[in-house]
Amino acid sequence: MSTTFDVYPRTAEIPSFGELIELASTRLAERLRRHGIDVRPELRVEVRHHRSHQEVPITPDDEMTWQRGEYGWFYVPQVLGGTDVDYRKVEEMDWAMWHELLETNERVRSERSRVESCLATGHYWSFRRSAGQPAIINLAYGIIAASLAELTDGIIYSYDSAWDYDRFPAVAADFYEWYFDPELTPDPDRAEWARGCFVAIASDQRL
């Protein structure tokens, strides 16, 4: 099983890999300190081919895009695992999904102007967390997605309940407040999972 956060940018300018890594590292350290964990995990990013998983050369100054048949890979080098990221064009099926949400979902409808502005940029990123990832990745992939939304004045959406479904779409400032906070989710299983992840992160000597 996997879960995803989709980031739809509102601005046309695409951040660089370096800008995203820098902001996401800061936001991740802030979240950990909020839970009494004083570490700053090292985030890294690669671009790889889908079939061979061979690395594609990038620099920190490159825009955070890649070619069809490639994907982004964000990870913490001290631990196994990471989050893979697709860069996608907004297609007819995406417009159809959002049109249905605008008709049926009150929260989406209340954000109609922002949603339509984000869709109009014509592209988005999808961050995926597969099952069995280490605790730091469970937390970090959402923080990286939110950091990208912050840099692009965009929205974060999850259609597969990567966190509390009723909170989406969300802007980065709101997302940082409640994401992965065991005290702010109504789902007891999700709260217990998040607490366990923080315990595992605090005890992980590799970070």
Give the start-to-end residue ranges of the domains of the chain. 2-203
Return the pLDDT at 118.
Answer: 97
What percent of the chain clears pLDDT 70, i.e. is strictly above it?
Answer: 100
pLDDT value for 1: 77
Q: Say whether pLDDT at 96 is over 80.
A: yes
All residues at 6 or more sequence positions from 104 whose CB lies less than 8 Å from its CB, including other chains: none
Q: Which two tokens stand for residue 52?
A: 């061979």
Average pLDDT of the residues in 100-111: 93
Q: Which of 175, 191, 202, 205 is nearest to 24 (CA)?
A: 175
47 bridge partner residues? 56, 72
What value does the mean pLDDT take over residues 80-101? 96
CA-CA distance, 3 to 145, in Å (whole number)?
13
Q: Are 73 and 64 in contact (CB under 8 A)?
A: no
Alpha helices in the chain (DSSP H): 17-34, 92-104, 106-110, 112-120, 135-152, 172-178, 188-203
pLDDT band at 68 (very low <50, low <70, confident <90, very high): very high
Does the pLDDT value for residue 5 go beyond 90? yes
Q: Would you say how long the chain is, in residues?
A: 207
73, 21 in Cβ contact below 8 A? no
pLDDT of residue 185: 97
The whole-number pLDDT of residue 121 equals 97
